[in-house]
């Protein structure tokens, strides 16, 4: 599908201040060195957490429609931009929660949209300024795991939006970020049912993001977080690290879209099962019945009747 799309030059990169541009070009140089010509990033999460805003901020233009109050449609959006022979694909998706439930229909639409694509990086987006996690977060992570497999989390990052948020009184910013991140990483671990050996020392990176126009800037006119980090180059750096982290990218093929077919499971065992049932269940039962018949005790009334009959004769 990406091949059919007319490649658009990444003009939005010129919107960034020169300091950010030079850092991004340096990152693109890494892909050239590694002979990688394209990167596909999948952005997923609950509704209203800032997925489309993040895509727009990263591309540098209004590529995905954003409205503060309007609910998203159900169609994913592929944003494709080319620069110096390198193509960046970002896939924005609808929110996975609707009316208090995981929207299985949205997940199926996303999977069909991704057919024959390869996902290099998954960005799981949530908000920094929400204090609690609940079972719904776990269900969303579970749905993503059911759709793409546990391996997706080895190619993923946790993105926290609204990073310019001021923590509650008395809490240090870094401390709050740490607590919020750990809570969500724990949700990802339990929701995806990841065990320690599944991760093998891999830890999911956390990326802070501020998409608002009121984002603070440093002396180089770059958008910075409260801790002083310029977040757009940082985001690209983290994506690059994930892309080259040695774990395999997720190829979405027909089998993954349709999901495993439970009817096929164990089908080859049917002749064995049939033989087992005949030899080890049916035949012993028949033998047991015959021994029951030969050993069967007669009820008392039958004995009494036969005694009476013999006495009468």
Binding stretches for another protein (CB under 8 A): 98-105, 262-263, 265-267, 269-270, 273-274, 277-278, 281-282, 285-286, 288-290, 292-293, 299-301
Confirm whether residue 68 is marked as ligand binding: yes
Confirm whether residue 84 is marked as ligand binding: no
Closest to 115 measured CA to CA, from 263, 233, 277, 2: 2
Smaller CB distance to another protein: residue 18 or 284?
Answer: 284
Six token digits for residue 114: 């991704």
66 vs 155: CA distance, rounded Å: 26
Count the alpha carbons within 13 Å of 217 in the hemisphere toward its beta carbon: 11
Q: How far is the CB of 57 from another protein (least distance, A)?
A: 29
Confirm whether residue 174 is marked as ligand binding: no
Q: How far is the CB of 154 from another protein (least distance, A)?
A: 25
Q: How far is the CB of 194 from another protein (least distance, A)?
A: 19
Confirm whether residue 51 is marked as ligand binding: yes
Q: How far is the CB of 127 from another protein (least distance, A)?
A: 21
Smaller CB distance to another protein: residue 2 or 256?
Answer: 256
Cβ-in-10-Å burial (0-12, 13-18, 19+) of 7 comes to exposed
Closest to 91 measured CA to CA, from 110, 67, 65: 110
Smaller CB distance to another protein: residue 217 or 283?
Answer: 283
Report the b/e string of 104-119 with b at 16+ CB within 10 A.
Answer: eebbebbbebbeebbb
Confirm whether residue 26 is marked as ligand binding: no
Report the b/e string of 286-309 with b at 16+ CB within 10 A.
Answer: eeeeeeeeeeeeeeeeeeeeeeee
Q: Which residue in the block uniquely carries the two structure tokens 């795991």?
A: 145
76 vs 41: CA distance, rounded Å: 13
Smaller CB distance to another protein: residue 11 or 288?
Answer: 288
Confirm whether residue 175 is marked as ligand binding: no
Which residues lie below 8 Å from residue 297, measured CB to CB, with a gap of 6+?
Answer: none
Smaller CB distance to another protein: residue 40 or 103?
Answer: 103
DSSP summary character for residue 269: G
Six token digits for residue 112: 């069909």
Q: How far is the CB of 255 from another protein (least distance, A)?
A: 15
Smaller CB distance to another protein: residue 29 or 266?
Answer: 266
Q: How far is the CB of 151 from another protein (least distance, A)?
A: 21
Confirm whether residue 67 is marked as ligand binding: yes
Confirm whether residue 12 is marked as ligand binding: no
Binding-site positions for Mg(2+) read: 52, 70
Binding-site positions read: 48-53, 67-72, 162, 210-211
Binding-site positions for GTP read: 48-53, 67-72, 162, 210-211
């Amino acid at each position: 599908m990406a091949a059919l799309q007319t490649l658009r030059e990444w003009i939005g990169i010129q919107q960034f201040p020169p300091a950010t541009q030079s850092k991004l070009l340096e990152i693109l140089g890494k892909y050239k060195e590694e002979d990688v010509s394209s990167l596909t990033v999948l952005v997923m999460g609950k509704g209203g957490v800032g997925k489309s805003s993040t895509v727009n901020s990263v591309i540098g233009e209004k590529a995905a429609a954003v409205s503060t109050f309007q609910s998203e449609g159900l169609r994913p959006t592929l944003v494709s931009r080319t620069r110096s022979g390198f193509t960046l694909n970002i896939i924005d998706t609808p929110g996975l929660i609707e009316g208090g439930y995981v929207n299985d229909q949205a997940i199926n639409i996303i999977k069909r949209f991704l057919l024959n694509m390869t996902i290099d990086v998954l960005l799981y987006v949530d908000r920094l300024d929400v204090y609690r996690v609940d079972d719904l977060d776990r269900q969303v992570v579970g749905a993503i795991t059911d759709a793409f497999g546990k391996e997706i989390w080895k190619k993923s990052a946790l993105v926290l939006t609204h990073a310019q948020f001021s923590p509650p009184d008395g809490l240090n910013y870094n401390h709050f970020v740490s607590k919020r991140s750990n809570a969500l990483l724990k949700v990802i671990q339990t929701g995806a049912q990841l065990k320690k050996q599944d991760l093998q020392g891999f830890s999911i990176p956390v990326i802070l993001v501020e998409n608002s126009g009121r984002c603070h800037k440093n002396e180089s006119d770059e958008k910075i977080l409260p801790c002083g980090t310029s977040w757009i180059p940082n985001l690209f750096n983290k994506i690059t690290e994930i892309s080259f982290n040695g774990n395999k990218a997720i190829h979405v093929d027909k089998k993954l879209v349709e999901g495993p077919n439970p009817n096929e499971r164990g089908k080859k065992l049917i002749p064995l099962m049939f033989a087992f049932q005949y030899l080890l269940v049916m035949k012993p039962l028949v033998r047991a019945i015959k021994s029951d018949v030969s050993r069967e005790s007669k009820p008392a009334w039958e004995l009494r009747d036969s005694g009476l009959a013999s006495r009468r004769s």
